[in-house]
Structure 1
Amino acid sequence: MPRTSAELIADPVGRFPHATVACFDATRGELPRRHLDPERMRAFLERLAERGVEGLLIASSTGQGHLRTVEELTEWFECAASAHIGEAVPMALLRPEDGEAANTRLMDQVAGQGYPVVFLRPGTDLPPDADGARVAASLAPLVAAAADRGLAVGLYSISDVSGLPLSPEATARVLAGPGGGHIVAVKVTEVDYAASTARFLADPRLQRLKIVQGWDPHLAQALQDGPGHDPAGRPRAGITSGAMSFALEQYLHILSAAAAGDWREVQRALEAVTRLFRAMQDDPRHFPDLQRAKYIMGLGQPLIGTVEAGQAARILTALEALPRAEDRVRIARSLDLMGDGPFHGELRALADTGGGREGRQ
């Protein structure tokens, strides 16, 4: 049976999904604005779930959910709820800047559609000098509203999108307020591990929460550090990854190696993902444009932009240049998840042979 909000709230570290895919949004149509492709969206979610994915985050930044209107989010949540995802846990990402009325309507919707969790980040409407107290005050009414509807709550730091990071201090304030007992996780997508994830793990006020790493190059460190910050030595740190959308098999391999304590293999396998990650990253200070991988997968073009041929070629070149054949095979199969994308032939050949640059020299 899928995990309920009550189960997640009772034991966040033990019950919250250890690995969640921050899901792409399948799109179709033309500029100036593309729209959701419901059939493709359901097929993508169902294929992820068939492969054993524990959690699915809907309206995540990698899918440009932060650019969608409230009406478009309503459609996306409804579409995802109609997918057959088995025991995978669906989660909805909400935006405080949409206002309390819109967010409570969306909470009513997702609660009725079987989403046990909503995630909230600092709103883009906060001033750049807002302190932790103000960030906490802006989140508190929405956390209370989610709790009133029986939903578990995740908080989310992604300053690339919101402009403000979420601090452990602000999180502790919300945790102590109305509905704070429904908070189960904090997702941290920040470039500086020591100033973000490490502080969340070490803060005793947050000890019952699952800390979810979202900036992928820090994943190995977070997974290793996690058990040292749980009284029972459990895997306190999990992941929520947009890269997992396009590198599913590689991430499942990384998680298997971590469970076996093979940290050398975790690091080597993660290095392969990081090379792909950087091939989509024009500025190392900002999160990569994973929409380029979405396009390669055959899930459509970005909502308000276009992936250029050279941008896609950079990713395929990086894939072919990976030093280990097994990494190339796993990632090529993952990028070919849909089986009919614009680069299906190239990816299928790479997955079948493992061939890279050295094979043609």
Structure 2
Amino acid sequence: MPLSSAELIRDPIGCYPQATVACFDPTRGDLPRRQLDETRTRKFLERLDETGAPAALIASSTGQGHLRTVDELAAWFRCAARANTRDMLLMGLLRPEDGIEDNQRLLDVLAELQYPVAFVRPGTDLPAQASDEAVTESLAPIIAAAADRELAIGLYSIPDVSGLPLRAESAAQLLGCDGGDHIVAVKVTETDYETSTARFLEHPALSRLKIVQGWDPHLSRALRDGPRFDAEGRQRAGITSGLMSLAVYQYLHILGAADREDWDEVAAAQQSTDAIFRSMQDDPRHFADLQRAKFMMGLGHPLTGQISNQQVERVFEALEHLPRHADRQRIARSLDLMGDSPFHDRLGLLRGNTGA
């Protein structure tokens, strides 16, 4: 059985899933606005479950969740819940800028569908220089509303989307707000490890929370640091990754190596995911545009845009030049997860058509 909210709240470090796929949003239709492809969405989630992925985040920013309307988000939550994902945990991401009434409606949907965790990030309606206190005040009503519905709560720092980060001090303040005892994790997607992930791990008030690495090139460091910041030596660091949507077999391999404490293999395998990340990154200060890989997987073009041949070729060039054959195989297999990618034959050559 999937974990319940109560189990996560009781023991966040012990129970929170080690890896969560920040799920793509399969799309169909034409510009100016494409629609969610509900059949492909369910199939994609079921394929992720078959790989052994422990959890998926629905309405993630990587999947352009921040561009969907509230009604579209509700439809996405409902569609994902209809997938046969067995024990794979589903989580939902909310946006404070939608307002408390719409967020209460979405929280009702998540509770009805038995999503155990609701994530929330700072709102895009806050000024870029908003204080920690202002961020806390803006998020507190959603935290209280989620707790009223007995949901576990995740906090999320992703300044690429929200325009400002969630800082460790603000997270600590939220623990003392109504419903703060339901907070179980903080997801950190920032370029500077020292000023983001490291501070969340070090902050004494956050010691019972899982700290979830979201900027993929920092993954191996977070996994090595995680046990050092738990009194019992447990793994405090997890991962929520959009890149895992397109490289799920590689990420499961990395996590397996981390479990064995084979840090040389973790580092070597991450060099390959970093190369793929960079191939979709137009500016090193900003997160990769993973919609390019979504298109390569046969999951459609972006909600309001289109992927060019040049963007696709840049990803293939990085993939074809990975130094280790096994990494190429795992990532090519991941990109062809649906089995009917428009690049199925080309990916088949890279994976050797072995299915391994």
Short-chain TM bin = over 0.9
Q: CA deviation at 1:99?
A: 0.2
Alpha-carbon distance in structure 1 between the residues aligned to 2:268 and 2:168: 31
Q: CA deviation at 1:121?
A: 0.2
Alpha-carbon distance in structure 2 between the residues aligned to 1:82 and 1:55: 15
Counterpart in the other structure of 1:359 = none
Where do 1:67-216 residues align within 5 Å?
Answer: 67-216=67-216
Where do 1:36-55 residues align within 5 Å?
Answer: 36-55=36-55
Matched residue of 2:220: which SS? helix
Counterpart in the other structure of 1:301 = 301
Alpha-carbon distance in structure 1 between the residues aligned to 2:78 and 2:173: 32
CA offsets 1:181-234 (integer angstroms, 9 cap, x no match): 000000000000000000000001000000000000000000000000001100
The reply to whether residue 311 of structure 1 matches residue 311 of structure 2 is yes
Alpha-carbon distance in structure 1 between the residues aligned to 2:234 and 2:205: 17
Alpha-carbon distance in structure 2 between the residues aligned to 1:321 and 1:56: 30
Q: CA deviation at 1:13?
A: 0.3
| % identity of equivalent residues | 63
Counterpart in the other structure of 1:357 = none
Aligned residues: 354
Q: TM-score, normalised by structure 1?
A: 0.97
Alpha-carbon distance in structure 2 between the residues aligned to 1:2 and 1:104: 24
Residue type of the alignment partner of 1:290:
L
Matched residue of 1:57: which SS? strand
Q: CA deviation at 1:50?
A: 1.2
The Cα RMSD (Å) is 0.7
Q: CA deviation at 1:353?
A: 6.3
Residue type of the alignment partner of 2:227:
P
Where do 1:19-58 residues align within 5 Å?
Answer: 19-58=19-58
Counterpart in the other structure of 1:358 = none
Alpha-carbon distance in structure 1 between the residues aligned to 2:353 and 2:278: 24
Counterpart in the other structure of 2:320 = 320
Where do 1:11-26 residues align within 5 Å?
Answer: 11-26=11-26
Residue type of the alignment partner of 2:97:
E
4+ runs of 1 displaced by more than 4 Å? Answer: none
The reply to whether residue 350 of structure 1 matches residue 350 of structure 2 is yes
Residue type of the alignment partner of 2:156:
Y
Q: CA deviation at 1:62?
A: 1.0
Matched residue of 2:352: which SS? helix
Matched residue of 1:62: which SS? coil
Alpha-carbon distance in structure 2 between the residues aligned to 1:295 and 1:114: 30
Q: CA deviation at 1:285?
A: 0.2
Residue type of the alignment partner of 2:336:
D
Q: TM-score, normalised by structure 2?
A: 0.99
Matched residue of 1:63: which SS? coil
Counterpart in the other structure of 1:267 = 267
Unpaired runs of at least 5, structure 1: 355-361
CA offsets 1:303-349 (integer angstroms, 9 cap, x no match): 00000000001001110000000100000000000010110000011
Q: CA deviation at 1:51?
A: 1.2
Alpha-carbon distance in structure 2 between the residues aligned to 1:10 and 1:265: 33
CA offsets 1:167-192 (integer angstroms, 9 cap, x no match): 01000111011000000000000000
Unpaired runs of at least 5, structure 2: none
Alpha-carbon distance in structure 2 between the residues aligned to 1:66 and 1:180: 24
